């Protein structure tokens, strides 16, 4: 067991990355009395609005990273593709979780091998580093399948679906290390989200059923339905072992497919997750608050679900209802808008959480 090192309220938390996850994390931190400083390259850094200070500097700017770190008592991240070279500029003793989690999750192959080594079952996969590898992988694994870049992919980006063996001939190796994986015939998708404290305590939130569209999360619901409920008990120990093997501190997410052969591991995110946004209103303690509590060495809060039914729906691109419409149609709707400047297609602009009757 690690001895908790408490970062007392009033101290400063640094967040690498400036997106909506950082924004919601900063709000939770402020509620607990912490100051937050963000760091991200210039762009639409929507976290900056709710931070005490924000460094809009490049990941390669060593002096800026050092200046940022010198102001922080603990540094975490909201974005899993922060370059490891930038993270290496932050003193190790300030970082939570440990960067080994980032290193593992930034590479799909590493991540699959890691979780497989702990007993998780990913879809059949092969590393692809050339056109010939791709042909071999399709021959061995079969089609349909998905070719994914090993690094830098998210929300379905850097992915090519291959519907049939014949179709594989028209897909070219994109010139970057990839993984080809068999298409999983799933009953449902779900994620296991846990918080692990500095003392090793682990708490899980309930798993929602997650529906994706075009590779991006569309809606998360509770109750999650029979397929998910039957497989959560098998998936949780894999997530727990992953957290323990990484000596992880903070919120960790593992995504699974519920299949007729049990849970199939898809990917992990060493951070708070879109499928956990419902916890802001729907759980006793949100994923954002427990992440802050964990990295600061505070006791974790209860992860109990507060309502009989919960739905979290992403607002994507420009087809959103207006704030007025959302709030007028349901007084139990909670609207979160991230303050992004431009509603580009496929961009997450906000989310709405709707809750049902309170649990007895
Ligand atoms: P990923 O970025 O790998 O999480 O993929 C995004 C979404 O694409 C997943 O949540 C699934 O809906 C779908 N997907 C990805 N990989 C597979 C697979 N091997 N089989 C079936 N669906 C997949």
**Main-chain phi, psi angles of 146, to 5 degrees:** -130, 130
Question: Domain for residue 108, yes or no?
Answer: no
Atom 18 (ligand 1) nearest CA: 183
Question: Domain for residue 174, yes or no?
Answer: yes
Dump pLDDT digits (tens) for 313-348: 999 987 666 788 888 989 989 999 999 988 888 899
Residue 325: C-alpha distances to residues 311, 312, 322, 328 (Å): 17, 16, 5, 5
What pLDDT band is residue 2 in, cutting at 50, 70 and 90?
Answer: very low
- The per-residue pLDDT for 36 is 98
- The per-residue pLDDT for 156 is 72
Report residue 76 CA to chain centroid gap.
Answer: 14
Question: Domain for residue 6, yes or no?
Answer: no
Query: Does the pLDDT value for residue 1 go beyond 50?
Result: no
CATH number at residue 228: 3.30.470.20
Which of the listed residues 165, 182, 199 is the one where a domain comes to its end? 182
Number of domains comprising the chain: 3
Dump pLDDT digits (tens) for 102-148: 999 999 999 999 999 999 999 999 999 999 999 999 999 999 999 99
* Domain shared by 170 and 258, yes or no: no
Mean pLDDT of 248-253: 98
Q: Name the one residue in this structure whose structure tokens are 């992919």.
A: 153
Mean pLDDT of 216-223: 97
Contact, 276 vs 251, CB < 8 A? yes
Mean pLDDT of 257-267: 98
Which token pair is 31? 């509620």
Query: Does the pLDDT value for residue 4 go beyond 70?
Result: no
Atom 11 (ligand 1) nearest CA: 215
CATH number at residue 144: 3.30.1490.20
* Domain shared by 146 and 26, yes or no: no
Q: Name the one residue in this structure whose structure tokens are 């089609």.
A: 143
Question: Which atom of ligand 1 is found nearest the CA of 182?
Answer: 19
- The per-residue pLDDT for 272 is 98
- The per-residue pLDDT for 320 is 63
* Domain shared by 241 and 342, yes or no: yes
**Distance between Cα 170 and ligand 1 center (Å):** 21
* Domain shared by 154 and 215, yes or no: no
* Domain shared by 79 and 141, yes or no: no
Residues 54/69/80/252 CA torsion (nearest 10 deg) = -110
Dump pLDDT digits (tens) for 70-113: 999 999 999 999 999 999 999 999 999 999 999 999 999 999 99
Question: Domain for residue 360, yes or no?
Answer: no
* Domain shared by 248 and 329, yes or no: yes
Dump pLDDT digits (tens) for 283-294: 999 999 999 999
* Domain shared by 23 and 88, yes or no: yes
- The per-residue pLDDT for 319 is 63
* Domain shared by 250 and 268, yes or no: yes
Query: CA–CA separation, 351 vs 309, rounded Å?
Result: 17
Query: Does the pLDDT value for residue 221 go beyond 80?
Result: yes
* Domain shared by 201 and 252, yes or no: yes
Query: CA–CA separation, 228 vs 126, rounded Å?
Result: 27
Query: CA–CA separation, 225 vs 141, rounded Å?
Result: 30
What pLDDT band is residue 228 in, cutting at 50, 70 and 90?
Answer: very high
Question: Domain for residue 16, yes or no?
Answer: yes
Question: Domain for residue 292, yes or no?
Answer: yes
Question: Which atom of ligand 1 is found nearest the CA of 181?
Answer: 19
Query: Roughly what angle, to the nearest 10 degrees, separates helices 287-295 and 20-31?
Result: 70
89 burial level (CB within 10 Å; 0-12, 13-18, 19+): middle
- Strands (E) located in 141-278: 145-149, 159-162, 178-182, 188-196, 202-204, 209-213, 216-222, 250-259, 262-269
**Distance between Cα 78 and ligand 1 center (Å):** 21
Atom 8 (ligand 1) nearest CA: 215
- The per-residue pLDDT for 323 is 80
Mutational test site, ligand 1, from 81, 105, 146, max ligand atoms within 8 Å of CB? 146
Query: Does the pLDDT value for residue 312 go beyond 60?
Result: yes
- The per-residue pLDDT for 345 is 86
Query: CA–CA separation, 219 vs 352, rounded Å?
Result: 10
* Domain shared by 178 and 193, yes or no: no
Dump pLDDT digits (tens) for 31-71: 999 999 999 999 999 999 999 999 999 999 999 999 999 99
* Domain shared by 216 and 300, yes or no: yes
Read out DSSP for 285-354? S-HHHHHHHHHTTPPPPP--B-BS-EEEEEEETT-PPPHHHHHHH-TTEEEEE---S---TT-EEEEEEE
Domain of residue 54 covers 12-95
Query: CA–CA separation, 29 vs 31, rounded Å?
Result: 5
Share of the chain above pLDDT 90, in %: 87
Question: Domain for residue 109, yes or no?
Answer: no
Dump pLDDT digits (tens) for 201-213: 999 999 999 999 9
Question: Domain for residue 100, yes or no?
Answer: no
- The per-residue pLDDT for 318 is 78
**Distance between Cα 56 and ligand 1 center (Å):** 32
Residues having CB closer than 6 A to ligand 1 are: 123, 146, 153, 156, 181, 183-184, 189, 212, 215, 255, 266-267
CATH number at residue 21: 3.40.50.20
Mutational test site, ligand 1, from 115, 185, 212, max ligand atoms within 8 Å of CB? 212
Dump pLDDT digits (tens) for 148-185: 999 987 667 889 999 988 888 888 899 999 999 999 99
* Domain shared by 238 and 349, yes or no: yes
Contact, 59 vs 68, CB < 8 A? no
Contact, 123 vs 142, CB < 8 A? no
């Amino acid at each position: 067991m690690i001895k908790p090192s408490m970062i007392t309220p009033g101290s400063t938390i640094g967040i690498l990355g400036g997106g909506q996850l950082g924004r919601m994390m900063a709000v939770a931190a402020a509620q607990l009395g912490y100051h937050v400083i963000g760091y991200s390259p210039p762009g639409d850094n929507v976290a900056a609005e709710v931070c005490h200070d924000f460094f809009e500097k490049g990941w390669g700017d060593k002096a800026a990273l050092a200046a940022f770190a010198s102001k922080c008592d603990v540094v975490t991240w909201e974005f899993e593709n922060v370059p490891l070279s930038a993270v290496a500029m932050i003193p190790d003793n300030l970082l939570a979780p440990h960067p080994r989690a980032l290193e593992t999750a930034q590479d799909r192959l590493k991540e699959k091998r890691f979780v497989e080594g702990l007993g998780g079952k990913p879809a059949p996969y092969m590393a692809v580093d050339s056109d010939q590898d791709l042909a071999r992988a399709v021959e061995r694994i079969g089609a349909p399948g998905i070719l994914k870049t090993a690094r830098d992919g998210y929300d379905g980006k850097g992915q090519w679906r291959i519907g049939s063996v014949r179709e594989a001939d028209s897909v070219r190796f994109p010139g970057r290390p990839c993984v080809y994986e068999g298409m999983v015939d799933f009953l449902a998708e779900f994620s296991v989200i846990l918080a692990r404290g500095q003392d090793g305590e682990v708490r899980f939130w309930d798993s929602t059923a997650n529906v994706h569209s075009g590779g991006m999360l569309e809606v998360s619901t509770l109750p999650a339905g029979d397929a998910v409920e039957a497989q959560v008990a098998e998936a949780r120990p894999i997530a727990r072992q992953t957290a323990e093997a990484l000596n992880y501190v903070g919120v960790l997410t593992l995504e699974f497919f519920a299949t007729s052969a049990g849970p199939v591991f898809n990917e992990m995110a060493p951070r708070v997750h879109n499928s956990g946004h419902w916890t802001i209103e729907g759980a006793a303690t949100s994923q954002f608050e427990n992440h802050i509590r964990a990295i600061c060495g505070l006791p974790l809060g209860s992860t109990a679900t507060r309502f009989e039914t919960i739905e979290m729906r992403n607002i994507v691109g420009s087809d959103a209802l207006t704030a007025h419409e959302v709030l007028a149609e349901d007084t139990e709707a909670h609207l979160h808008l991230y303050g992004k400047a431009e509603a580009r297609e496929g961009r997450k602009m906000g989310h709405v959480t709707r809750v049902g009757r309170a649990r007895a």
